[in-house]
Structure 1
């Protein structure tokens, strides 16, 4: 439980600037720990356990928003930690590449789980499904969160698809508000009912909602 005396950094519907104060690159060749300071050193982030929040940045002159779940505890004061796998150039991961390029002292905007968002679109490739899986799990566990989720998940082959039979397909079958569409490049087995190739504009038009004030990508 967050002590009442502590002020909360996150404000519903608003972005807060947070400064990068630590970047640890020794976790693995492509996994980093990022520590961001909150606006005030006596604040807690104010994000309930299991909830996600968004990092927002301008990347290639476009607004990029990605959902992540903090690895630090809810009662830590003055900062929060993220452990993120970096997907390097030509491998996707615009936000992870942007974070990896940040110098200490740089700022990034942080936004909590949006109550106004009715629809959430998430695109993923390969092991990038892991943070998306965490977001899906958190939303489905919250009986008050009725966000509709649309996932387009790309892999090289059908056998490379992670969490499909254990989690994604059963969840989509059980929860009508979760839609998952798969895209593979090759090695399509008989009976494949999804897309072949790469994620294209046509695939997105068919399987995710159009952009609107209540839709987040």
Structure 2
């Protein structure tokens, strides 16, 4: 991830001059990189880069980014921290003492801790984890359409495990946070985060950071995408499995506002009927909003009694239910294979990339 011939040393003062939103530098394994080129098109949004400006982001970067992303980093390598900078950056940052409780729980530049208060199993492999925030009147501080990161430590190797999630809590809920997580626990190939979350005892503290994401729904059809506002008349929402969680958050915001004339079509793909997440909540939101909202489920292994659609979400299904329109924004979240196939189908049907947003 470095330029082998680059020997430039960077001081802490030089690094801190780039603790800003115009030319942010960040640190990975004591190596300094420029984040400026990522401000416009980073999948996590510009805020994820700005939030790391001037900081050591080793754990977050190594845990979340792919090998492809890591291979790109030599092109943005600026140099190595000098000895004094390494010491300064390793020291915990002091906070100004205050007796006033924070209004919002999340902080984009530092990890904050909430306590696991309950686990509710809603299917064979899906649990709602409820966390208690710092005080009972504290809000989460997460805009609609954004997500947060959860950090745990591997119980054996002690490496940081970090994954992004979208809570299903009400945005104005106080003192608590609900996160729906589909667990992958089978054999040795089970997910590290799944195993770590599943083993958490009630009362255990968990680290959170955020908000992150390039999309925010501001209400009444107005969206912000990487800081640029865009007005839409309709959302075509395509998801699979636990990809419903960010979709659900936006859908709920639209349906709850009776003055919001934006319409939504949700295409939700799953394997089994019991795999459909948030179904009761989606049905409740549709009650009385049938003129503005539609939720279509399709199952690949449906029971004989199933009266809905069968099979995977594909281009034909998308074309039938998501008619192309310049003022429609397509929101997509699901397994990588679904996202790739839907992207191809949408492009073939004439959609532009600025009309498609992947969570």
TM-score using structure 1 length: 0.54
User: For 1:14, which of 94, 106, 110 is the aligned residue?
Assistant: 110
In the TM superposition, what are the counterparts of 1:174-213 in structure 2 within 5 Å?
A: 174-175=352-353
* Whole-Å separation in 2 of the counterparts to 1:167 and 1:81: 30
Distance change in 2, residues 1:134/1:71 (3 Å): closer
Q: Note the C-alpha offset of 1:167.
A: 4.6
Query: What residue is the counterpart of 1:3 in the other structure?
Result: none
Query: What residue is the counterpart of 1:70 in the other structure?
Result: 167
- The alignment's C-alpha RMSD in Å is 3.8
Query: What residue is the counterpart of 2:144 in the other structure?
Result: 49
* Whole-Å separation in 1 of the counterparts to 2:345 and 2:131: 35
- 5+ residue gaps, structure 2: 1-101, 214-239, 250-333
Q: Note the C-alpha offset of 1:135.
A: 6.5
Instruction: Say which SS state the counterpart of residue 76 (structure 1) adopts.
Output: coil
User: For 2:182, which of 62, 81, 85 is the aligned residue?
Assistant: 85
User: Which whole-Å deviations, capped at 9, do the CAs of 1:1-52 have from their partners, x for residues lacking one?
Assistant: xxxxx81111221110110001012x11111010011111210100011111
Distance change in 2, residues 1:63/1:73 (3 Å): same
Contact preservation (8 Å) 2:120, 2:128:
yes
Query: What residue is the counterpart of 1:96 in the other structure?
Result: 194
Matched, 1:162 2:338: yes
Contact preservation (8 Å) 1:69, 1:131:
no
Contact preservation (8 Å) 1:67, 1:132:
no
Distance change in 2, residues 1:40/1:162 (3 Å): same
Contact preservation (8 Å) 1:71, 1:81:
yes
Instruction: Say which SS state the counterpart of residue 153 (structure 2) adopts.
Output: strand
Instruction: Say which SS state the counterpart of residue 44 (structure 1) adopts.
Output: coil
Larger CA deviation: 82-91 vs 62-71: 82-91
| Structure whose residues are more often helix by fraction | 2
Task: Please list every run of at least 4 consecutive aligned residues from structure 1 whose deviation after the TM superposition is greater than 2 angstroms.
Answer: 89-92, 129-136, 161-171, 173-176
Query: What residue is the counterpart of 2:207 in the other structure?
Result: 109
Instruction: Say which SS state the counterpart of residue 80 (structure 1) adopts.
Output: strand
Query: What residue is the counterpart of 1:199 in the other structure?
Result: none
Contact preservation (8 Å) 1:23, 1:33:
yes
Larger CA deviation: 89-98 vs 12-21: 89-98
* Whole-Å separation in 1 of the counterparts to 2:148 and 2:243: 12
Flag the structure with larger Rg: 2
Number of equivalenced pairs:
144
- Larger RCO, structures 1/2 (Cα 8 Å, 6+ apart): 1
* Whole-Å separation in 1 of the counterparts to 2:244 and 2:146: 12
Instruction: Say which SS state the counterpart of residue 19 (structure 1) adopts.
Output: strand
* Whole-Å separation in 2 of the counterparts to 1:152 and 1:162: 5
Q: Note the C-alpha offset of 1:58.
A: 1.3
TM-score using structure 2 length: 0.34
Q: Note the C-alpha offset of 1:133.
A: 8.0
Query: What residue is the counterpart of 1:146 in the other structure?
Result: none
Matched, 1:23 2:119: yes
* Whole-Å separation in 2 of the counterparts to 1:152 and 1:165: 10
